[in-house]
């Protein structure tokens, strides 16, 4: 499901969106005839360049790849969302805000096979000093997965991230910053904006 340059987007309700990822996960390995090949897989929901986005009270499960990826969006609310995938399902991130501004992720429950949340900035966003900024994660439950990550893509910069009142249970990490060595100069900025 994709949307681009939309306003007032709402995905709400008590329903379930199931990506039937098992058929994709089985083919993720490298076929013997093509060394290094990985079967490309789709992301369940990608919203690009959108404003006033609300995803609420829905269950997202079994995406072939990432479940929810708001990209270059502003004013995003993800509330009371459950995201589920088997712990062994590779690259099934729950929520990946990429180059987004003014994001609130609250009261979500995430049990997946990769990053529960991954805040990324793949490149510069016109008019912004930092591609990803003003992101708050609060009152969430992190189960199987890699925890909350900043990166690996951080080339556009990340600023003002707050994580508060969250529970991490059976995650591989709590909060981690993963970035290329060349971007290490920005780590102080990341570390200074994560609150307990």
Catalytic residue positions, numbered: 114, 146
Residue partners of 40: CB distance under 8 A and separation at least 6: none
Q: The tokens of 170 are what?
A: 């059976």
Please state the separation of Cα 47 from the chain's center in Å: 12
Rounded-to-integer distance, Cα 51 and Cα 100, Å = 10
Provide the residue count of the chain: 196
As beta bridge partners, residue 95 has 68, 117
User: In 3D, which of 88, 137, 130 has the Cα closest to residue 109?
Assistant: 137
Q: How far is CA 77 from CA 29, 38, 65, in A?
A: 35, 33, 21
Q: How far is CA 55 from the centre of its chain?
A: 13
């Amino acid at each position: 499901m994709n949307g681009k340059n939309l306003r007032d987007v709402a995905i709400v309700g008590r329903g379930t969106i199931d990506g039937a990822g098992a058929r994709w996960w089985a083919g993720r390995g490298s076929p013997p005839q093509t060394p290094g090949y990985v079967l490309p897989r789709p992301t369940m929901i990608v919203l690009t360049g959108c404003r006033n986005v609300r995803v609420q009270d829905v269950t997202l499960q079994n995406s072939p790849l990432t479940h929810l990826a708001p990209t270059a969006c502003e004013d995003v609310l993800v509330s009371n969302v459950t995201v589920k995938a088997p712990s062994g399902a590779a690259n099934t991130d729950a929520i990946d805000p990429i180059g987004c501004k003014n994001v609130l992720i609250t009261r979500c429950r995430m049990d997946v096979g990769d990053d529960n949340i991954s805040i990324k900035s793949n490149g510069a966003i016109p008019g912004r000093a930092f591609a990803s900024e003003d992101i708050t994660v609060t009152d969430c439950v992190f189960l199987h997965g890699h925890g909350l990550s900043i990166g690996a893509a951080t080339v556009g910069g990340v600023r003002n991230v707050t994580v508060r009142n969250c529970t991490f249970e059976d995650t591989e990490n709590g909060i981690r910053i993963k970035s290329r060595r060349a971007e290490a100069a920005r780590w102080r900025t990341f570390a200074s904006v994560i609150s307990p």
